[in-house]
Amino acid sequence: MTFRNTFSKLQIVLILSLLFVQTRLYGQILDATFVPTHRYISFAGFAYPSAPLAIQTDGKIIINNEPQGIVRLNQDASIDPSWNSATLNASGVPVVSCAALQSDNKVVIAGSFSGGGAAFVGNDWLLRLNSNGTIDPSFANVLTDAPIETEIYAIAIQSDNKILVGGRLATYTPTPKTNLVRLLSNGSVDTSFVTDEIGGVVWNIHLLSDGKILIAGDFTWVGNYSCRGGYCRLNPDGTFDTSFETISIFLPLERAKSFAIQPDGKILITTTMSRIIRLNSDGTTDASYKHGITENTVNSLIVQADGKIIVGGSFSFYSIYGSGINLSTPLHMMRLQSDGTLDTTFGISGRGFDSEVTNLNLLPDGKILALGYFDKYDNITRNAN
């Protein structure tokens, strides 16, 4: 089973089960000033998983909401009335699958909605919102009507406001592409970005400071190059970066899920087999890192300014891979030292969230925004009732 299939089934489970909540923490102390007033987003009376679409430099959070579609939250989690919530679907509740914030605070979004000149691709639409939440009519409609299995899973905005779009992309007008395309700032296809065929879906895009691009997905080759582990690095023009090693310690069916970059440029990767792996900046395996594994899902990780690593998911223990020693962790969220060992000063073993953490984000003030299926943190209720 691919990671994407697993993720889709996870979404269905969430629709039928627990509510969405959000909590903000400093270290391991709940931030009492952050009080959610909504659940994001409900669908036909059931809960639907959500993650922040974008976090602005002022700490405001752009996120899914029902029935408006997308709202902006103030730093205390109240809804920002200055944001003009766009109704993206007249016939049902819009669901945004991914989004990215431009430097001018415009937001490019993809998901299940229509209207406003949105570009259609298979199951997904693509459009841009202005900084006040209204739909930007200047964003070009260049996507073609594609096979129903076509979906958009990742969006990343470059410093020049060019837009990388990844997923299962069969066609893209006027230039056919396979799973990764770059758009100009007006939404038209950037024909100077030329990628080799990617042998599977792209579900994560991470931009590096030198303009190079990390991608992860369910693939093992790009053009004529092998990519064991489902990840590789591209040059700024889209060509395959042959200086980046792609033969790593990944197991045969293991795929990369997401990336985080430490201050020294080393690359942390979460995998479909619940491992946390670190590579050197050239892609070689970092032998100095204590590669770890949990007993269940690792969903998200972020790197603090001091290089320590916050990890969210569904787990209660952590083990250095191959050690055979399981260390009890705070429930569903832990912190690692920069070398991969468990930071025992963060949280309390056996306590924490009462259910899974799906997404972590580092706010401009250093606080941690955590989202998931939980009602409580350290037995303190945060359920947006």
Which CATH number fits the domain that encloses residue 285? 2.130.10
Q: What is the pLDDT of residue 221?
A: 92
Of residues 379 and 198, the one with the higher pLDDT is: 198
| Count: domains in the chain | 1
Residue 72 falls within a domain, yes or no?
Answer: yes
Report the half-sphere exposure of 93 (CA within 13 A, side-chain side).
16
Residue 177 pLDDT exceeds 90: no
Residue environment code for 259-292, b if the CB has 16+ CB neighbours within 10 A, otherwise e: bbbbeeebbbbbbbebbbbbbbbebebbeebbbb
Task: Centre a 10 Å sphere on the Cβ of residue 251 and count the other Cβ atoms it contains.
Answer: 12
Task: Give, in degrees to the nearest 5, the angle at Cα 156 between 199 and 149.
Answer: 45
Q: Residue 171: its pLDDT value, please?
A: 60
Q: Which residue would you say has higher pLDDT here, 42 or 159?
A: 159
Concatenating the DSSP letter of every residue in 14-63 gives: HHHSPPPEEEEEETTEE-TT----S-TTEETTEE-----SEE-TTS-EEE
CA 286/CA 269 separation, integer angstroms:
12
Tokens at 355, concatenated: 């259910």
Residue owning tokens 């070689």? 284
What residue type is 49 in one-letter code? P
Residue 303, pLDDT > 50, answer yes
pLDDT at 34: 76
Which is more confidently placed, 134 or 26?
Answer: 134
Instruction: Pick 217 or 4 by higher pLDDT.
Output: 217
Choice between 42 and 104, residue whose per-residue pLDDT is larger: 104
The yes-or-no verdict on residue 203 having pLDDT over 50 is: yes
* Residue 16 clears pLDDT 50, i.e. is over it: no
For 177-187, what is the mean pLDDT?
87
Whether 121 maps to a domain, the answer reads no
pLDDT beyond 80 at 382: no
User: Which among 192, 188, 183 is positioned nearest to 237, based on CA atoms?
Assistant: 192
End-to-end distance of the chain based on CA atoms, in angstroms?
Answer: 36
How much is the average pLDDT of 21-39?
62
CA–CA dist 202, 80 (Å, integer): 33
Residue 114 inside a domain? The answer is no
- Among 36, 9, 140, 5, smallest CA distance to 370 is for 36
Q: What is the pLDDT of residue 282?
A: 95
Position 174 confidence tier, pLDDT thresholds 50, 70, 90: low
Q: Give me the chain's average pLDDT, please.
A: 79
Q: Is the pLDDT of residue 207 over 60?
A: yes
Query: What pLDDT does 219 receive?
Result: 93
DSSP 3-state of 8: helix
Contact 34, 370 (CB under 8 A): no
> In this predicted structure, what is the pLDDT of residue 383?
58
pLDDT of residue 259: 93
Q: Name the pTM for this structure.
A: 0.85
Please report the pLDDT score of residue 12 as a whole number: 22
pLDDT(62) > 70: yes
Contacts of 164 (CB under 8 A, 6+ apart): 154, 155, 156, 157, 158, 180, 181, 182, 183, 205, 207, 213
The answer to whether residue 153 is domain-embedded is no
Q: Is the pLDDT of residue 154 over 80?
A: yes
Give the pLDDT band (50/70/90) at residue 37.
low
- Distance (Å, whole) CA 368 – CA 312: 11
The pairing of strands 180-183 and 163-168 is: antiparallel
Q: Which of 13, 102, 28 is nearest to 330 (CA)?
A: 28
Residue span of the structural domain in which 21 resides: 3-85+195-381
pLDDT of residue 342: 94
* pLDDT confidence tier of residue 172, bands split at 50, 70 and 90: low
- Determine the Cα–Cα distance for residues 225 and 46; give it in Å rounded to an integer: 44
**15-19, 251-255, 323-327: range with lowest mean pLDDT:** 15-19
Q: 371, exposed or middle or buried, with CB in 10 Å at 0-12, 13-18, 19+?
A: buried
Residue 347 in domain: yes
Would you say residue 66 has pLDDT above 80?
no
- What are the pLDDT digits (tens) for 254-278? 999 999 999 899 999 999 999 999 9
Q: DSSP letter at 185?
A: T
What's the confidence (pLDDT) of residue 260?
Answer: 95
Closest residue by Cα to residue 77 from 380, 312, 367: 367
What confidence score (pLDDT) does residue 90 get?
A: 43
Confidence at 72, pLDDT banded by 50, 70, 90:
confident
**Average pLDDT value for residue range 5-11:** 32
In a domain, 138, yes or no: no
Cα distances (Å, whole numbers) of residue 64 to 88, 108, 110, 117, 209? 11, 13, 12, 20, 29
Q: Does 128 reside within a domain? A: no
How much is the average pLDDT of 151-157? 89
More confident residue, 215 or 330: 215
Q: Per-residue pLDDT for 20 more than 60?
A: no
Nearest to 333 by CA among 320, 319, 314: 314
Asked if the structure places residue 104 within a domain, the reply is no
**Nearest alpha carbon to residue 98 among 183, 57, 149, 157:** 157
Nearest by Cα to 23 from 248, 360, 327, 385 = 360
* In the predicted structure, residue 238 carries a pLDDT above the cut 90: yes
